[in-house]
């Protein structure tokens, strides 16, 4: 809840305060330089009473349930995410981009890697012996007028475009993006092809 | 074209082959050979010389050849009155 909105709704009814904390209206108790000034002037208050505290630049509201003043700016804030507190910063791990210019690729798929290929006549992929929960990678390639010959472990669970008997079979003249990731049980291959 | 001879008939190679470990999509010629498929060679049908021919497949080490073999059709018997 922002100070600006509260000012509009409530403060317009108030009589300007005087000195160190007088106020007007039925609930507006006025302005106080800090929390101590407020609690000294009003150790108790009535339900609905509020005041402005200068040190926090916020509205403080009398909480009848706990008989205490509450800084309204702390209400509704996210204090932790998954048990973590502190400043939230966006973190994005950059994937390693491997540009492939050859017409064939035989590759063990490495974590957090994008294999950006041109037209491939043959693509042979293998999986690492150990795959962690956050393992993921992507292979981009073009299947030419002669479709790409793809050899892959039969443990991969395929979904998406151009599947035959639930296995990815590239067709001619398409650009594919294939995302591989581990779901905790299986390695999945998600296929999207554009003609 | 790679094919396999099964009971006198040819089967075209599929776009997908599998074994216990891998899947082979659009398999290469090497993979097709490893799975027993051979290249199909088709001989031209003899020109119309008044004879009758039927096709047969002859398999050797690396190819399956479609050949034309002369045969004599059975004469139809005259219906009895």
pLDDT (average), residues A123-142:
96
ipTM over 0.90: no
Query: Hey, where are the domains in chain A?
Result: 5-87, 96-194
Strands A167-168 and A96-100: unpaired
pLDDT (average), residues A157-177:
97
Query: In this complex, is the C-beta atom of B29 within 8 Å of any C-beta atom belonging to chain A?
Result: no
**A59 vs A22 pLDDT, higher one:** A59
pLDDT at residue A82 is higher than 60: yes
**Cα B55 to Cα B69: distance, rounded to the nearest angstrom:** 6
Tell me the nearest-neighbour CA distance from A149 into chain B, angstroms: 5
Determine contact, residues A174/A145, Cβ cutoff 8 Å: no
Share the mean pLDDT of chain A.
86
Least confident of A51-65, A168-182, B47-61: B47-61
Confidence grade of residue A126 (pLDDT, cut at 50, 70, 90): very high
pLDDT at residue B9 is higher than 80: yes
Burial (0-12, 13-18, 19+ Cβ within 10 Å), B8: exposed
**Cα A29 to Cα A23: distance, rounded to the nearest angstrom:** 4
Nearest C-alpha neighbor of A61 from the set A99, A28, A84, A13? A28
**Contact between A167 and B26 using a beta-carbon 8 Å cutoff:** no
**Contact between B23 and A149 using a beta-carbon 8 Å cutoff:** no
Tokens standing for B17?
């082959």
**A26 vs A171 pLDDT, higher one:** A171
Burial (0-12, 13-18, 19+ Cβ within 10 Å), B64: buried
Share the mean pLDDT of chain B.
89
**Contact between A152 and B23 using a beta-carbon 8 Å cutoff:** yes
pLDDT at residue A34 is higher than 70: yes
CA dihedral B46→B47→B52→B58, nearest 10 degrees, is 10
Chain A residue numbers touching B18 (CB-CB < 8 A): 154, 167
Give pLDDT, residue A2. Answer: 39
Query: In this complex, is the C-beta atom of A115 within 8 Å of any C-beta atom belonging to chain B?
Result: no
Confidence grade of residue A13 (pLDDT, cut at 50, 70, 90): very low
Chain A residue numbers touching B21 (CB-CB < 8 A): 153-154
Give pLDDT, residue A177. Answer: 97
**Contact between A149 and B24 using a beta-carbon 8 Å cutoff:** yes
Give pLDDT, residue A84. Answer: 78
């Amino acid at each position: 809840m922002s100070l600006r909105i509260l000012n509009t709704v409530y403060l317009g009814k108030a009589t300007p305060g005087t000195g160190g904390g007088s106020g007007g209206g039925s609930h507006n108790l006025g302005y106080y330089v800090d929390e101590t000034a407020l609690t000294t002037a009003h150790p108790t208050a009535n339900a609905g009473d509020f005041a402005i505290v200068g040190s926090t630049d916020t509205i403080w509201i009398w909480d009848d349930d706990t008989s205490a003043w509450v800084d309204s700016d702390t209400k509704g804030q996210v204090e932790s995410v998954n048990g973590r507190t502190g400043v939230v910063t966006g973190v994005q791990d950059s994937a390693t981009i491997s540009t492939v210019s050859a017409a064939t690729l035989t590759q063990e798929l490495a974590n957090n890697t994008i294999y950006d290929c041109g037209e491939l006549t043959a693509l042979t992929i293998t999986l690492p012996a150990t795959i962690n929960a956050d393992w993921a990678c992507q292979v981009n390639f073009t299947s030419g007028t002669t479709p790409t010959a793809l050899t892959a472990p039969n443990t991969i669970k395929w979904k998406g475009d151009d599947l035959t008997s639930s296995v990815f079979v590239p067709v001619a003249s398409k650009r594919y993006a294939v995302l591989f990731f581990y779901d905790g049980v299986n390695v999945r291959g998600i296929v999207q092809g554009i003609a | 074209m790679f094919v396999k001879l099964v009971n006198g008939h040819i089967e075209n190679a599929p776009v997908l082959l599998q074994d216990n470990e891998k899947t082979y999509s659009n398999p290469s010629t090497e993979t097709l050979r490893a799975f027993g498929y051979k290249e199909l060679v088709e001989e031209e049908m003899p020109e119309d010389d008044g004879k009758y021919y039927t096709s047969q497949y002859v398999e050797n080490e690396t190819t399956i050849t479609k050949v034309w073999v002369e045969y004599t059709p059975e004469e139809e018997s005259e219906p009895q009155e």
